A and B are shown apart, each in its own frame.
Chain A
Amino acid sequence: MKTNFNVTVSLWTLTVKEVRRFLRIWVQTLVPPAVTMSLYFVIFGSLIGPRIGSMDGFDYIQYMIPGLIMLSVITNSYNNVVSSFYSVKFQKSIEELLISPMPNWTILLGFVLGGVCRGVLIGIIVFGVSLLFYPDFTVANPLLTVTVLFLTSILFSLMGFINAVFADSFDDISIIPTFILTPLIYLGGVFYSINILPDVWRSVSMANPMLYVVNTFREGMLGVSDVSISFSLGMIITFILVLSVSCLYLLKKGTGIRQ
């Protein structure tokens, strides 16, 4: 009996499907970050920025660029996976995956790759937009920048996946992004260096995981950071591993997927 099941084909199929999904609705997925970020650059960069002066020795607009790229990458990776996987559950088209011989890890990887493609693409778009406002930007450490870009995108795609697994309604897929993710990112050093904060708030900020992601990326792009890079990279990778194992466990158990 022949069952030479081709894993690569199934993974490729799912990834292409995921990418096609966000490209099909590009007005909802690709345009908004470009528009919002342009506004940020106009208001905080060009209008208010000069009055703020410099931050860690950089023009304020320049300092803001890595933060805004991270903000967009994080929210888009997360949102892509949470909304896609939830709607696959909601429309029952998850049955198409469950009935097939695709192993769980390819299902997870397919959705994560979809989130990563969108996250990275958005990162490039926002960087492109920022160059319109600050054409002289040069990346300090391209290798670190790209590495952090991908790791962040993977990390938040995984988080989006877990959110979708537990989600029972459309409310459930917006609660965490709105009430937890966004505040943590905004307070995680996107707009400022924690060095400008009073001691107490600086210590509190150190407990915010977003701070490490944003600052590692800033180290890549500008060469400055509020935190230790090796520690941050270690934590990001650890979290990716822990979350991957958790996702696979949830898939195996069938939580929220199989009754």
Chain B
Amino acid sequence: MAEYALEINNLQKVYDNNVVALKGINLKVQKGDFYALLGPNGAGKSSTIGIIGSLVTKSAGKVSVFGNDIDTDLNKAKSMLGVVSQEINFSQFEKVLDIVVTQAGFYGIPKSIAMPKVENILKRLSLWDKRNDQARTLSGGYKRRLMIAKALIHEPQLLILDEPTAGVDIELRREMWSFLKEINKNGTTIILTTHYLEEAEQLCRNIGIIDKGTIVANTSMKDLLGTLNVQGFVFDLDQPLEEAPVIEGFPLKLEDPLTLVAAVNKDRSINALFSELTKLNIKIKSMRNEANRLEELFIEMVNANEN
């Protein structure tokens, strides 16, 4: 049996207009994982997903789904893979039920066998009552659900979702999260892209960050959040300083003569910092939290890639 649900080696993509979308990325996603692929607009997330789903041709490199190379075992790879594309890709004039039954048919599942599955999945996604509606009459959030229903109809072991919650309201998003968590718990490996870092934090165990066609980070959510155990505090000073004081265990940075920024490890008491500052006769007018968490880190990593 294959070791990974998805393995990508040196994947490159140059579009016909000479845009280099992927510059040789490597990615491994473990079986049963819940993986977030993050990156700014135009980073290459959808290109990567398109190649995995054979909607986009690759320029070079290898992709395998549960050990099935898409160059040699494409059909096996396809039967194990479900993809929810970023853009709506069903015929707007067909009925919800027909769309899902047809997608099952394309996977070779006859209608009689597909029907109970379709009913089950449409019910779970609260689409059953709308099964006879024309797809174009669905609201944006329900269109997303229909995309998910389509991608799951052949019971894939790897589900890839390209920004499934973009433009979805908070309630629906939380519903979708618990749905995805559940199917992940039942054994489906999930990869998703999102611009909501909170979403990645809520759902995913591992995380890859892609920027300008290269992977700039590939780590576990735990480790990533671990680096966030350092909290930033901003002190507004009473008197200007010429340079940042040096205090053991508390890295300090002078942003401007009246603003001092401290990185405080979560397991250290901020009281200690105060008493050290008082010792040095530095008076603090006010203090606030540096807005950071994941977003800050994300921007840092992406910015580091600028150079």
Contact = CB atoms under 8 A, between A and B. Distances in A.
Interface of A: 1, 3, 5-7, 9-10, 12-14, 17, 20, 24, 87-88, 91-102, 254, 258-259
Contacts of A3: 75-76, 79
Contacts of A14: 105-106
25 contacts: A1-B76, A5-B108, A6-B108, A6-B109, A7-B108, A10-B106, A12-B105, A13-B105, A13-B106, A17-B102, A20-B98, A24-B93, A87-B91, A91-B91, A92-B85, A92-B87, A92-B88, A95-B85, A96-B90, A96-B106, A96-B150, A98-B53, A99-B78, A99-B81, A259-B57
List of 3 A-B pairs having minimum Cβ-Cβ separation, nearest first: A13-B105, A6-B108, A100-B106
B56 A96 contact: no
B110 A91 contact: no
A120 to B, nearest CB: 23
B69 to A, nearest CB: 14
A99 B76 CA distance: 12
Interface residues of B, number: 33
Contacts of A1: 76
Given A3-B76, A9-B108, A259-B16, A92 B89 contact: yes
Contacts, number: 86
Contacts of B107: 5, 10, 100-101
Contacts of A17: 98, 102
Contact of A258 (B54, B78, B85): B54
User: Which of A7, A9, A94 has most B Cβ within 10 Å?
Assistant: A9
Given A5-B75, A13-B106, 5 more contacts: A13-B105, A93-B91, A96-B89, A101-B108, A102-B106
Contacts of A95: 53, 55, 85, 89
Contact of B105 (A10, A91, A258, A259): A10
A148 B243 CA distance: 92
B1 to A, nearest CB: 9
A12 B102 CA distance: 10
Interface in B49-97: 50, 53-57, 74-76, 78-79, 81, 83, 85, 87-93
A102 B90 CA distance: 17
Contacts of B93: 24
A165 to B, nearest CB: 15
A8 to B, nearest CB: 8
Nearest to B90: A93
Nearest to A95: B89
A99 B53 contact: yes
Contact of A97 (B50, B57, B106, B108): B106
Nearest to A97: B106
A90 B68 CA distance: 30
B110 A99 contact: no
A7 B102 CA distance: 14
B196 interface: no
B179 interface: no
B103 A100 contact: yes
Contacts of A100: 78, 103, 106-108
Contacts of A101: 74-75, 78-79, 107-108
Contacts of B53: 95, 98-99
B274 interface: no
Given A3-B76, A24-B93, A92-B88, A99 B54 contact: yes
Interface in B109-159: 109-110, 150
Contacts of B55: 95, 98-99, 258
B177 interface: no
A1 B79 CA distance: 11
A258 B57 CA distance: 6
B79 A259 contact: no
A34 to B, nearest CB: 23
Nearest to B15: A259
